[in-house]
A and B are shown apart, each in its own frame.
Chain A
């Protein structure tokens, strides 16, 4: 920003004008206006400021400034009806502020003291904030948008307490994105907060486009396929994370928060679990976990059993399996990899294509291709069932990043199964478990509350116990106050006792 501009053609150019770097761009407007006999220079990026506010500011400037000989910027300041207007003499700040969408006013010839009127334009932000990817049938459908103030507003309106602390910082040497850290004072452990702050401050990055980038930059271990922070676009999810003592982070221009420290089980939690009766919530959560385990191991188990351990399959079933693949010319491994790759193609294409084409492609890919593959004896019926079921099951996780990790991990496990059968799967499982035991999220163990084992916290991990049981916050977050609420007892009268 400070690079000296050498072609000093302009009249105001005494040694250097702090605004010179900006002039090179065509969307930078610098015009002179005369009010009550005084000449002002008005500068702004027309691509950054709100045109309505600009009009208001100019208008009030023209109308209200009384004529006088001396220019006192603080007098001028008091006539502009826009908040956070200020006077500065810092060159750095002028340029920064212009780039944040401010209007700069300075008297002609006086380049080192200026008025800055913030009026960031709000164009380009989508107006509907429905959740796009994390759906739920019950519960609010409010999601975040790509504007930081709107997102913070959404959080504030549901946590109306002075204990909700928002700390802002600027990250990205080029993007200069605002990043906000949110936490509940008196609940979140200060170490978690300071750790998050330190890590974010330690980042040197050019352009922060999405919070997920920060997620990777501050992750405890960058060699893991698992997401170490929960990424969410749902408001209720962020609020739940905050009130249990997690720290949330969002960057400007991103519609998703990351919250941490997270545990593996956080990725199987859907806010819906808390809106349904606890028995149902628990059941669905177990289904999700079962789905993920199935998705990880089903195809691999097929490969292992068909390659090495025929004995394991009962003979009634074995007959069917063999007849389904008697015409298939490949070993089970090639067959499985072929189908898994097909599914990955479908998924990747489906994610990139526009909605309508995506549907058509789904039908072509899913039904016609599958049918044709079986008829052409490229694969067996049974494997198609297994592979499509496990693809389906990988999408049951409420957080998309986790389902990506799961789908990725299927491949090494299939390869291991092809080499050593069930023993290979066991090796894969062991690697996974050791890896998970070693992982940390913001310094907290990732496998909590299973490892390290915390009996009390198990109530809200695999299952979701009733609200009477989950009075306390999970201890692996080390919250400063444990009690969330006092469960009220609804007095139930036994009908038989009534006289």
Chain B
């Protein structure tokens, strides 16, 4: 890897893996179930609609970030510059908590599923701590090992899990999806919103962006990641709705797992045991990315050493593992996360985008025309 100065920078292609990991979360296992309260079998429209909205948000993020002067193109700086020290700090803390919460939701739901599905007799303390050790080992390696983990997480899903789904093809009932479009706009919007919740992890882009070597050329990788995520969601949606009819779907809390469980291969069946276990790679990449983003923001905001922040976060997770005990608690935390994410990503980012446009037009101090990289903002 080419080190520019003393700092690690990643080639644009790694943005693909980072964003894919951010966009596809643990929700991939049960998003179909959530569809039932909204668009049901018309959910594919919601998925597409959500993807379009997210692509707009991504574009906004890119425009917003590329308008900043070179050294300042990170979330923490933007917040401080646009809102002043105090309000900016408050916003930064909200984002830090939001990233932590995202990592924790992934962590807790995964441990929960593992316990329910594969290791019902095991003590979740030990499980949780071992996973936390892994997380610590990974995040302490800095962004290198985090993006590395994102790479493996992505490859794992796309190469080992995703293709297996097609083995179900012969059992499908395409008529389950018919008639098309018999839901009203309200229920479609309800599902679109649910799908947007799956995608809100993309906020990590705001933190990762300064590390990209050639940010200008990386938008296409971001879109490609979004396209891949959309296709993965679509395929799992279509396959599970074609396989289960409406009544059956209500009985399956994790339709994706139920779908995978019917696959039979010569040496192996009940694939979901293996898939769920090795899903750890994917979940680990989500957790580490979130934790890294939080620690990184903490460092920039309060100049607290990332290693200290990381240790605190790990302890916090271990404590929260006990506080958040059952499905109800997890749902509550998830709800909190999605609500915050909704506001931060879907409302706050467009707001920032507009501000950056306005400031530009007012001859403001965004300073991107200053090619020498002298920050001219009021903070500088």
Which of A172-180, A248-256, A328-336, A426-434 lies at the interface with chain B? A426-434
Q: Is B131 an interface residue (CB 8 A)?
A: yes
Determine whether the beta carbon of A429 is less than 8 Å from that of B278. Answer: yes
Residue of A nearest to B264 (CB): A314
A314–B144 alpha-carbon span in the complex (Å): 41
The dominant DSSP class at the A interface is helix
- Checking B1, B2, B138, B273 against A309 with a beta-carbon cut-off of 8 angstroms, the contacting residue is B273
Query: Which positions 11-34 of chain B face chain A at CB distance < 8 Å?
Result: 11, 13-14
- Checking B13, B147, B269, B280 against A430 with a beta-carbon cut-off of 8 angstroms, the contacting residue is B280
Nearest Cβ in chain B — how far from A203, in angstroms?
25
Report chain B residues within 8 Å CB of A426.
277-281
A405–B222 alpha-carbon span in the complex (Å): 38
Residue of A nearest to B118 (CB): A423
Determine whether the beta carbon of A422 is less than 8 Å from that of B274. Answer: yes
Chain B interface residue bracket vs A: 35 or more
Q: Is B127 an interface residue (CB 8 A)?
A: yes
A-B contacts counted at CB < 8 A amount to 107
Report chain A residues within 8 Å CB of B267.
313-314, 317
Determine whether the beta carbon of B278 is less than 8 Å from that of A422. Answer: yes
Determine whether the beta carbon of B277 is less than 8 Å from that of A425. Answer: yes
Per-residue CB proximity of A181-206 to B under 8 Å, as 1/0?
00000000000000000000000000
Residue of B nearest to A314 (CB): B269
A437–B138 alpha-carbon span in the complex (Å): 9
Nearest Cβ in chain A — how far from B24, in angstroms?
18
Determine whether the beta carbon of B119 is less than 8 Å from that of A423. Answer: yes
With known contacts A314-B266, A452-B11, A453-B11, A423–B149 Cβ distance under 8 A: no
Q: Is B148 an interface residue (CB 8 A)?
A: yes
Residue of B nearest to A420 (CB): B119
A435–B152 alpha-carbon span in the complex (Å): 12
Nearest Cβ in chain B — how far from A178, in angstroms?
34
Determine whether the beta carbon of B149 is less than 8 Å from that of A433. Answer: yes
Query: Which positions 258-288 of chain B face chain A at CB distance < 8 Å?
Result: 264, 266-271, 273-274, 277-281, 284
Determine whether the beta carbon of B268 is less than 8 Å from that of A451. Answer: no
Report chain B residues within 8 Å CB of A312.
268-271, 273-274
A436–B149 alpha-carbon span in the complex (Å): 10
Determine whether the beta carbon of B277 is less than 8 Å from that of A437. Answer: no
Report chain A residues within 8 Å CB of B122.
420
- Checking B1, B145, B269 against A434 with a beta-carbon cut-off of 8 angstroms, the contacting residue is B145
Q: Is B84 an interface residue (CB 8 A)?
A: no
Residue of B nearest to A431 (CB): B134
Chain A: residues with Cβ within 8 Å of the partner, total of 33
Nearest Cβ in chain A — how far from B340, in angstroms?
28
Query: Which positions 230-274 of chain B face chain A at CB distance < 8 Å?
Result: 264, 266-271, 273-274
Determine whether the beta carbon of A438 is less than 8 Å from that of B280. Answer: no
Determine whether the beta carbon of A445 is less than 8 Å from that of B1. Answer: yes
Query: Which positions 125-146 of chain B face chain A at CB distance < 8 Å?
Result: 127, 130-131, 134, 137-138, 141, 144-145
A431–B131 alpha-carbon span in the complex (Å): 10
Q: Is B103 an interface residue (CB 8 A)?
A: no
Determine whether the beta carbon of B277 is less than 8 Å from that of A422. Answer: yes
Q: Is B289 an interface residue (CB 8 A)?
A: no
Determine whether the beta carbon of B13 is less than 8 Å from that of A422. Answer: no
Determine whether the beta carbon of B145 is less than 8 Å from that of A437. Answer: yes
Q: Is B114 an interface residue (CB 8 A)?
A: yes
Per-residue CB proximity of A442-472 to B under 8 Å, as 1/0?
0001010011111100000000000000000
Q: Is B151 an interface residue (CB 8 A)?
A: yes
Determine whether the beta carbon of A423 is less than 8 Å from that of B1. Answer: no
Q: Is A265 an interface residue (CB 8 A)?
A: no
Q: Is B10 an interface residue (CB 8 A)?
A: yes
A436–B333 alpha-carbon span in the complex (Å): 34
Nearest Cβ in chain B — how far from A406, in angstroms?
19
Residue of A nearest to B281 (CB): A430
Report chain A residues within 8 Å CB of B138.
430, 434
Report chain B residues within 8 Å CB of A447.
148
Residue of A nearest to B3 (CB): A443
Residue of B nearest to A447 (CB): B148
Determine whether the beta carbon of A438 is less than 8 Å from that of B141. Answer: yes
A39–B279 alpha-carbon span in the complex (Å): 85
Report chain B residues within 8 Å CB of A451.
147-148, 151-152
Residue of B nearest to A416 (CB): B130
Residue of B nearest to A435 (CB): B137
With known contacts A434-B148, A437-B149, A427–B134 Cβ distance under 8 A: yes
Taking beta carbons and an 8 Å cutoff, which residues of A are in contact with B? 308-309, 311-314, 317, 420-423, 425-427, 429-431, 433-438, 445, 447, 450-455, 476, 478
A-B contact pairs, 15 of them (CB 8 A): A311-B273, A314-B266, A422-B278, A423-B277, A426-B281, A427-B134, A427-B280, A430-B284, A431-B137, A433-B148, A434-B138, A437-B144, A445-B144, A452-B147, A454-B11
The 3 closest A-B pairs by CB, nearest first: A437-B148, A422-B277, A426-B280
